[in-house]
Amino acid sequence: MPKNISSESRIELLQGTLDMLILRTLQWGPQHGHGVGQAIRQSSADLLLIERGSLYPALHRLEARDLIASEWKTSDLNRRAKYYRLTTAGKAQLVAEQSKWKLFVRAITRVMRPA
């Protein structure tokens, strides 16, 4: 993994936000686990680095809750990979999480705003 950003400037994920990020990433279409991790890293401009030790359990947890589904497909590298996609329930969950998140950010910003 390329390390062009020093580890100090990376951000620890807030608890519970990883599920939302995964759902959001899968909105663009089916993706395998590694791809989900890369996508989050890239779209956060390398600020968020997802530990795979948390990523995979999260994927399986979402799958167990029927928010995402999986199937084995051949990847671009011509290998079999497990692809995850959003289910209808997952889409609804993402909408709900997004509005909750907006509220959360607004609230935190108001509190933390310089006086």
Partner 1 sequence: MRWDFWRRERREADLEDEIAYDLAVDAEERIRSGATPHESEWASRRDFGNVPLVKEGIRETWGWTSLERLGQDIRFGWRSLRKSPLFATMAVLSLTLGIGANASIFSVINAVLFRPLPVERGSELVSLNETLAGNTVPLLSYPNYRDFRDRNSVFTGLAAYTIVPASVGPKGNAQRLWGYVVSGNYFELLGVKPHAGRLLLPEDDKVRGGHPVLVLTYAAWQKRFGGDPNIVGAKVQVNGREFTVLGVAPKEFIGTEIMIAPEVFFPIAMQKELEGGEGYLDRRTGWSVFVVGRLKPGVTRAHAESALNGIAQQLAQEYPREVGGMKIKLSPTGLGGSYMRDPTIAFAATMFGVCCLVLLVACTNLASMLLARAGDKRKETAIRIALGASRGVLIRQLLIENLMVALLGGAGGVLLATWIMSALTAWHPPVDIPLIISAPVDIRVLLFTLVVSTVTALLFGLLPAFQATKTDLVPALKNEAATPRLRYWHLRDYMVAAQVCLSVLLLFCSVLVVQSLQRSLDAPRGFQSHGLATASFDLNMQGYDEPRGREFERKVLDQVRQLPGVDSAALVNNIPLAAGVGSNHIYIEGKPVPKRAADVPIAYEFIATSDYFRTMRTRLISGREFDDRDKQGGRRVAIVDSAFAEQLLGGGSPLGRRFTTNTTKEPIEIVGVVEAGKYYQLNERRQMAFWTPLHISYTSIASIVARTRTNTPEALAPSIRGVVRDIDPSIALFAAGSVDDQLSLSFFPARIAAITLSAFGILALVLSATGIYGVMAYAVSRRTREIGIRMAIGATQAQVLESVARRAATLIGTGLVLGLGMALFAGRLLGRLLYGVKPTDPLSFAIVFGLMLAIGAAATFLPARRATRIDPTQALRQE
The values of phi and psi at residue 29, to 5°, are 130, 170
User: Do residues 31 and 38 lie in contact, with contact meaning Cβ atoms separated by under 8 Å?
Assistant: no
Q: Could you tell me the CA-to-CA distances from 109 to 11, 31, 96, 99, 102 in Å, in that order?
A: 17, 33, 20, 15, 10
The distance of closest approach from Cβ of residue 59 to partner 1 in the complex, given in angstroms and rounded to an integer, is: 8
- Joined tokens for residue 109: 């910003």
Which residue number, 65 or 106, has a Cβ lying nearer to partner 1? 65
Which residue number, 79 or 113, has a Cβ lying nearer to partner 1? 79
The distance of closest approach from Cβ of residue 103 to partner 1 in the complex, given in angstroms and rounded to an integer, is: 28
The distance of closest approach from Cβ of residue 106 to partner 1 in the complex, given in angstroms and rounded to an integer, is: 32
Which residue number, 20 or 63, has a Cβ lying nearer to partner 1? 63
The beta-strand segments (E) located in 23-100 are: 31-32, 68-74, 80-86
Binding site for partner 1 (CB under 8 A): 1-2, 32-34, 51-53, 56-57, 60-61, 63-64, 72, 75, 77, 79-82
Which residue number, 34 or 85, has a Cβ lying nearer to partner 1? 34
User: Do residues 58 and 15 lie in contact, with contact meaning Cβ atoms separated by under 8 Å?
Assistant: no
The distance of closest approach from Cβ of residue 21 to partner 1 in the complex, given in angstroms and rounded to an integer, is: 17
